[in-house]
Structure 1
Amino acid sequence: MSYLKRFSSGTWAAICKCVAAIHDKNIIPPSLMHIKLGNGSLSLMHIKLGNGSLSSFWYDPWLEGMPLASRFPRLLALDTRKSDLVAERFQNGVWTWFWRRDLRGGIEQFSFSSLLSLLAPINLSREKDIWVWDGSSSNVFSVSDARRQIDSHNIAPPSRKTDWFKTFPPKINIFIWRLKMQRLATKENLEKKGIILSNSACALCHLHADTDHHIFVTCNISRQIWVYIGSWVNMHIPCWASMEELWTWFDGLQIQGKKRLVLRSIWYSTLWNMWRLRNSYTFNDAAFRKSHVLDNIIVSSFFGCSLDIKNIKLIGHCGCKTLWTLCNFLFTFLGALLVGNKILLLF
């Protein structure tokens, strides 16, 4: 863009650079009227032709929503007056042409015949040309409609639904959402973004790449944790090969109501504490180690499911919990210990 050379710093320069970067990546090309997306295209605006005095003959989408320059590039290259308006080309009811040489047979003559057939039914009026927005049924432009149209063609829909567990902190819910979307900051995902790392191996076992399915499913440490969780909840936990298998298995469990809330609380707590363990070894944080994982899973699981089942909320400006909440949590936790460290999902 020419204005980037005039403004090298400041807020406006930063905006111009962002726009240029978006254009270069073809997310929004310089022409906002017709966006190419992969093998297809997205028409956002077109011109409702009036007298043709405001519409470029070659570059504006005034004919069937697509610029003639995109349809007939060979004819555009031969034209000597590429900047003409539609009104300047339609004189006394006749279309005029300004070729730098005579048209040859083959593709050039075929393209010209196709162009004439498209122009045949066109008649100009006394009204002005009007831009029409195609992004909504009302044909009225809005930024939200434009954002929605672009996102629907550039962002893949989520592969599975993410449930918001209201009794867990937002950071854990966001973590589960990012995990299901495969957007965690694993070493594999960081390298995909062009970040150079000195070591891409798992910080727990140092044997395999640091990926989401390895951290939570196939790593020896994670398998040991899942074996313990299976023994704790009195349930057989299979050896999954990927996160997709884990989610599919969990979604297919024939458990409903309070039992499912309890199990989901344990699942979310387990995954979250596995991630905390991985981060502690990655960044050499001695405050959270393997010996802490199981205790943290038990405490956070009971706290989350007890609040969800009884619908107890934190009260007071200081975030103090009611006495009933504390008693319920402590008795539930002690009860689990008294039955041999197992949770019998029979209530």
Structure 2
Amino acid sequence: MPPKPPPNYVVQPTPSAYFISRGNGSEEMNFGAAPEYGDLVPNDRMYIHSRAAPPPIDLTTWRLHVAGSAVAKPRAFTYDELLAFPAVTCRRVLDCGVNCRAFFPRVSPYQSIKWLPTGWTQWHFGAVGATEWTGVRVKDLLDAVGLGPAANAQFTSLDAVATEAGDLPYSQVIAIDKVLADDTLLAYRMRDEPLPIDHGYPLRAIFSGWGANSAVKWLGRIEVSQEPLPLTHFQRNQVLAGPDYAEPILATVGPVRSAFELAEDITLGPGDRTLHGRAWSGAGAIEQVEVRIDRQVAQDRWAPIWEPGWRSAKLLHAPEPMMWVRFEVTWKDAEPGRYRLMARASDDAGRVQPRPEAMVWNQHAVGYNGHAPLELSVLPQSNMP
């Protein structure tokens, strides 16, 4: 008898106009729909990454358990008790640590290393979104349970993820300094609505600026420890590791990235065009975005249409830390042909998106942020529908 297929990991509808499916539980935001959005993505358009089906939760019996060797008064909080804490709201990008993973080379530059595993989710640009989160500061919650000297804390979901070691709840161990940051939240609302099921109802962790892999959904337990807890099963696959790394490094702060508000491989008509996009960083605010357009002149040969090749884009509003900023650039007299677009953002921490060929290879394909090209075609007006 063939094995039963896994249950659907996503509850809400994910129409292709707004999502690109990358496998069960992996629904990428279609950047072609982004022009419809303002600063914030509607809740039902936010990208989704779930490693298991949402657990059944009855809010009347659900509890958040807070315990551990650094906690003086372990406690199980009800939902209403969490709502009684001072509410904090912040606007933040949620960017998957392996966003843009598909742009890593399929084989490493090291001859002794085999192909990258093909089973991993091949995200393009859209494992990212921005919204307004409302919740309780973790540090306020820990003050209520008598926090003592602590090294780190483990945040554990109520889900059950199938692994080679059996079904495990998804979990993350986070350094105590980040746990106690002013903008580290236990979020229960998105854009002033209760947290949707696919985004962790009733409670998820938000570690501002860090990869979304840290943002544990369907939260059920926080264990705060005096002695350092080891990385979890899941975090061991979220490290930078390979010949260029003396030892594995846990990826935390999100890189600087950018993307155009266009579907991939789109067809445009000729003439003047205004291109829009978004840029963001986990380390702070965006300072500059540059755009380059190359035209294909022969097989595997491209030439810039501008001199110099990169042109500064206009930022459409004041940048905010850990939020994306929209940008635009004018493309005059677009002629029929095949083109590739690239955006290169820099942030106020001094980080700049590198050339794709300058990306340092790592075994888990984490943290890609080279200015990967988006290809499109310009057709003669007579060929346009």
Q: TM-score when scaled to structure 1?
A: 0.24
Structure in which a larger fraction of residues adopt strand? 2
Q: Which has the higher contact order (CA 8 A, sep 6+)?
A: 2
TM-score by length of 2: 0.22
Q: Which of the two has greater helix per residue?
A: 1
